Amino acid sequence: MIAGVGEALLPVLTPASTNPANEIAKRLTGRDYMSWSALSTFRTCPLKYKFRYIDGLPEESVSSALVFGTGIHTAVEQHYQAILSGDPKPDLDALMFAYRSAWLPHDPDAIQFGSTETRASLDALAARMLTAFLASPAASVQGRVLGVEEEIRGMLVEGVPDLYGRVDLLTEDSDTLVVTDIKTSRGKWSQEQVEDSGEQLLLYSHLASEISPGKKLTTRFLVLTKTKEPQIEEHVREVNPVAVKRTLAGVERVWRAIESGVFYPAPSVMACSGCGYREACRAWMG
Amino acid sequence: MLKLHAGVSRKVGLPGFSSASASCTVEAELDSTLLNDTDGFQIVVRRAYQSCEKAVQDQIARLTSEPQSEPSQPQEVIEVRTSPAISGPTVTRIPATTNHADLPVTNRAAFRDAPSPRPATASQVKAIRAIAARRKIDLVGLLRERFGLTTADQLGIREASNLIDELKSDEPTASPSPSNGNGAYATTGGAR
């Protein structure tokens, strides 16, 4: 708790810019930036974006997968922070303690579990995943750790609010800056998944490029699978400037749609089942 | 012995890409019976943070309201130590170091030659504080002597990286060398 209070006052890697679009974002959403999560929510369902970011509606429920993923993130980040600080690496008990902390802020009755899940089964899965992580090469760092769960923000496109995000892990070696995102997944990732999920990291690496001018920029997904025998996968990609340009074009279009108030439901079997706005969505009439 | 170490640090941007920052650290020895009094403990900790927060806010307000005639904004660390109880603290104000000509030649060179355009990351700052606390290094003294700074969050990302490597290494390079003639920072003063 004490550390948490102090941390809130630590510096942000990139301060807010003087981007005029930040003011528009603040008027619309109360926040003077866009997050990747907000952009991604809009692309999944524009109406869900409106409920969450414009109307500020509390979600009727939170999915267990979200809380579980946050817990795994918290544990893995604690491991890397210990490496940065030169502390002894936390053991499984310490990582499980960090994982459990993610469940504390949530009302247990508001957490929506899958049909075959319980809190106990997820805790057991977390222990298996973190054990696999500790035994994997990914538990060691090549080069130096520069940041863990690091806040980053900056203007990407003129006329679009600053992008604000948290980089899970920022490392460098003699010639490469690596931006890592930690993911939990039901199974191993295909190459298509790596490509499709890369946009967030492309944008973060674009913002982080000023940290080590002249160094090669690389994105890396660290995937912990939620399988019976968890696997730890690393997917490393060099940043492709053409892919960055395409992603930026997409960000601009999303912002134009938000600014213009284009919000509509986008029904999907996958997205709607775990959505926290099902009641509000049914009640929406345009 | 129950020891409380709480700190608040804040940096605000000013026109012309300058900034003002202040930090306040409280170190206190508490009555160990507080461990059996959860509410009482929380109150004491909350008060410590509130006191720091207020001191930092006041200092930032003072710094940002002053005319900006100086080439760089002054920075100040407010150090509060109490013993054995949290009441009746003594306050030591460490004046800002705005004139780097006061620094030894080697430190001036380091300060001038290693300007990092990006500030240290929050996790680097956290790491520096943790290592300094673990090794009982007086971080304020170290930062003043080596970089002409008063808090770790004023370091650049490169400076912070190098300092972390240095502090973590087993070599006693983080301790003052006999050649600089100033051993002030290698004390058991605690980190901030």
pTM here is 0.66
Report CB contact under 8 Å: A211, B168.
Answer: no
> Over 50: is that where the pLDDT of A7 sits?
no
Kindly report, residue by residue over B29-49, the tens digit of the pLDDT.
676 666 777 777 777 777 777
DSSP assignment string, B129-178? HHHHHHHT--HHHHHHHHHS-SSGGGSBHHHHHHHHHHHHSSSGGGSPPG
> Over 80: is that where the pLDDT of B164 sits?
yes
The Cα A206–Cα A217 span in angstroms is 8
Q: What is the CA radius of gyration of chain A?
A: 19
Q: What is the ipTM of this complex?
A: 0.79
Q: What is the CA radius of gyration of chain B?
A: 17
Residue of chain A whose alpha carbon sits nearest to that of B11? A11
> Over 60: is that where the pLDDT of A63 sits?
yes
The Cα A76–Cα A148 span in angstroms is 10
The Cα A223–Cα A193 span in angstroms is 11
> Over 60: is that where the pLDDT of B99 sits?
no
To 5 degrees, how large is the angle CA A72–CA A59–CA A153?
60
Q: How confident is the model at residue A211 (pLDDT cuts 50, 70, 90)?
A: confident
Report CB contact under 8 Å: B121, A7.
Answer: no
Output B116 or A182, whichever has higher pLDDT. Answer: A182
Of A5, A84, A210, nearest to B164 by CB-CB distance is A84
Of A9, A21, A28, nearest to A263 (Cα)?
A28
Residue of chain A whose alpha carbon sits nearest to that of B118? A211
CB A162 within 8 Å of CB A154: yes
Q: Which residues of A touch B117 (CB under 8 A)?
A: 210
Q: Nearest C-alpha of chain A: how many angstroms from B4?
A: 10
Report CB contact under 8 Å: B121, A146.
Answer: yes
pLDDT the model gives residue B11 = 66
Of A164, A161, A163, nearest to A20 (Cα)?
A161
Domain A31-283 architecture: Alpha-Beta Complex (3.90)
Give me the mean pLDDT over the A22-41 stretch.
Answer: 94
Give the domain ranges of chain A: 31-283
> Over 90: is that where the pLDDT of B187 sits?
no
Interface test with B, best of A7, A10, A180, A204 (most B CBs within 10 A): A10
SS3 A53: helix
CB A163 within 8 Å of CB A51: no
Q: How confident is the model at residue B50 (pLDDT cuts 50, 70, 90)?
A: confident
Q: How confident is the model at residue B59 (pLDDT cuts 50, 70, 90)?
A: confident
Q: Does the beta carbon of B135 lie under 8 angstroms from any beta carbon of chain A?
A: no
A244 backbone dihedrals φ, ψ, rounded to 5°: -65, -45
Give me the mean pLDDT over the B106-128 stretch.
Answer: 63
Of B13, B126, B134, nearest to A15 by CB-CB distance is B13
Give me the mean pLDDT over the A3-24 stretch.
Answer: 58
Interface test with A, best of B39, B46, B123 (most A CBs within 10 A): B123
SS3 B76: strand
Residue of chain B whose alpha carbon sits nearest to that of A209? B118
Kindly report, residue by residue over A110-155, the tens digit of the pLDDT.
898 988 999 999 999 999 999 999 999 999 998 999 999 998 888 9
Q: Does the beta carbon of B166 lie under 8 angstroms from any beta carbon of chain A?
A: no
